[in-house]
Amino acid sequence: MTSTIRLTAAQAMVRYIAAQKTEEGETFIAGCWAIFGHGNVAGIGEALHGAQDSLPTYRGHNEQTMAHAAIAFAKQSQRRRAMAVTTSIGPGATNLITAAALAHVNRLPVLLIPGDVFAHRGPDPVLQQIENFGDGTISANDCFKPVSRYFDRITRPEQLLTALPRAFRVMTDPAECGPVTLAFCQDVQAEAFDYPESFFAPRIWRQRRIQPDAVELASVAAALKGAQNPVIVAGGGVHYSGATEALQNFAEAHNIPVTETQAGKSALPWDHPLNLGPIGVTGGTPANATCAAADLVLGIGTRFQDFTTGSWGLFQNPARRVVSLNVAAYDAMKHGAEPLCADARAGLEALSAALGAHRAKAPEAALKSDWFAKVDPLTDAPADGNQLPTDMQVVGAVQRAATPDTVVMCAAGTMPGELHKLWKAGRPGSYHMEYGFSCMGYEIAGAMGIKMTDPGRDVICFTGDGTYMMANSEMATAAMLGISFTVVVTDNRGFGCINRLQMATGGAEFNNLLAHSRHQTPSAIDFAAHAAAMGATSVKVDSIADLEAALARRVDVTGPYVVVIDTDPYPSTPHGGTWWEVAVPEVSPRAEVTAAHAAYAQNRKVQRRD
- Reported residue count of the chain is 610
pLDDT of residue 52: 95
pLDDT in tens, 414-438: 999 999 999 999 999 999 999 999 9
The span from the CA of 295 to the CA of 281, in Å, is 20
* 576, part of any domain: no
The span from the CA of 211 to the CA of 116, in Å, is 41
pLDDT of residue 93: 97
Closest alpha carbon to 61 in 34, 91, 96: 34
Closest alpha carbon to 280 in 348, 321, 234: 234
Query: Looking at 204, 237, 263, which one is the last position of a domain?
Result: 204
- On whether the CB atoms of residues 4 and 194 are closer than 8 A, the answer is yes
The span from the CA of 150 to the CA of 170, in Å, is 7
Least reliable range by pLDDT among 125-129, 254-258, 534-538: 125-129
117 Cβ contact list (under 8 Å, min separation 6): 89, 124, 125, 126, 129, 139, 185, 186
The span from the CA of 392 to the CA of 574, in Å, is 11
The span from the CA of 39 to the CA of 11, in Å, is 15
pLDDT of residue 362: 85
CA distances from 289 to 112, 375, 424 (A): 43, 16, 20
- On whether the CB atoms of residues 561 and 487 are closer than 8 A, the answer is yes
Closest alpha carbon to 561 in 536, 541, 544: 536
Strands ordered across the beta sheet of 258-260: 275-278, 258-260, 230-234, 296-300, 321-326, 338-341
The span from the CA of 66 to the CA of 153, in Å, is 22
The span from the CA of 439 to the CA of 325, in Å, is 27
Q: What's the helix, strand, coil split of the chain in %, to 5?
A: 40, 20, 40
pLDDT in tens, 533-572: 999 999 999 999 999 999 999 999 999 999 999 999 999 9
**Residue 575 DSSP code:** S
Q: How confident is the model at residue 384 (pLDDT cuts 50, 70, 90)?
A: confident
What is the CA 186 to chain-centroid distance, rounded? 31
- 462 in the same domain as 430: yes
Instruction: Work out the widest C-alpha separation in the chain, in whole angstroms.
Output: 82
The span from the CA of 122 to the CA of 255, in Å, is 68
Closest alpha carbon to 355 in 219, 211, 232, 238: 219
pLDDT in tens, 354-383: 999 999 988 888 999 999 999 999 999 988
* 605, part of any domain: no
For position 231, which CATH number holds? Answer: 3.40.50.1220
pLDDT of residue 321: 96
For the chain, helix (H) and strand (E) counts, in that order, are 24, 22
Burial class (CB within 10 angstroms; exposed 0-12, middle 13-18, buried 19+) of 408: buried
The span from the CA of 257 to the CA of 40, in Å, is 52
**Residue 54 DSSP code:** T
**Residue 414 DSSP code:** S
Which residues pair with residue 150 across a beta bridge?
A: 180
The span from the CA of 175 to the CA of 323, in Å, is 18
pLDDT of residue 2: 84
- On whether the CB atoms of residues 256 and 250 are closer than 8 A, the answer is yes
Query: Looking at 363, 393, 414, which one is the last position of a domain?
Result: 363
Query: Looking at 363, 395, 425, which one is the last position of a domain?
Result: 363
H or E segment and range at residue 57: strand 57-59
* 590, part of any domain: no
* 541, part of any domain: yes
Q: How confident is the model at residue 164 (pLDDT cuts 50, 70, 90)?
A: very high
Number of other residues whose CB lies within 10 A of the CB of residue 506: 20
pLDDT of residue 386: 67
What percent of the chain lies above the pLDDT cut of 90? 96
User: Does the pLDDT at position 81 exceed 80?
Assistant: yes
* 606, part of any domain: no
- 547 in the same domain as 445: yes
pLDDT of residue 365: 85
User: Does the pLDDT at position 385 exceed 80?
Assistant: no
- 450 in the same domain as 337: no
Q: How confident is the model at residue 153 (pLDDT cuts 50, 70, 90)?
A: very high
- 358 in the same domain as 234: yes
Closest alpha carbon to 243 in 342, 108, 378, 374: 342
User: Does the pLDDT at position 387 exceed 90?
Assistant: no
For position 182, which CATH number holds? Answer: 3.40.50.970
Average pLDDT score, the chain: 96
Phi, psi (rounded to 5 degrees) for 433: -125, 125
Q: Position 204: which residue type?
A: I
- 442 in the same domain as 342: no
Which residues pair with residue 114 across a beta bridge?
A: 87
Mean pLDDT, residues 197-224: 97
- 228 in the same domain as 172: no
pLDDT in tens, 6-64: 999 999 999 999 999 999 999 999 999 999 999 999 999 999 999 999 999 999 999 99
pLDDT of residue 608: 83
**Residue 551 DSSP code:** H
CA distances from 604 to 5, 337, 507, 528 (A): 64, 21, 19, 45
Mean pLDDT, residues 66-84: 98
- 442 in the same domain as 356: no
* 314, part of any domain: yes
* 594, part of any domain: no
The span from the CA of 596 to the CA of 505, in Å, is 5
- 295 in the same domain as 253: yes
- DSSP, residue by residue, 449-489: HHHHH-TTSEEEEEEEHHHHHHS-THHHHHHHHT--EEEEE
Owning domain of residue 349: 214-363
- 224 in the same domain as 143: no
pLDDT of residue 610: 74
- 330 in the same domain as 407: no
* 384, part of any domain: yes
- 421 in the same domain as 279: no
pLDDT in tens, 19-33: 999 999 999 999 999
Burial class (CB within 10 angstroms; exposed 0-12, middle 13-18, buried 19+) of 518: exposed
The total of structural domains in the chain comes to: 3
User: Does the pLDDT at position 99 exceed 90?
Assistant: yes
Q: Position 537: which residue type?
A: T
- On whether the CB atoms of residues 322 and 299 are closer than 8 A, the answer is yes
- 447 in the same domain as 516: yes
What is the CA 468 to chain-centroid distance, rounded? 17
Closest alpha carbon to 17 in 92, 111, 134, 132: 111
**Residue 229 DSSP code:** S
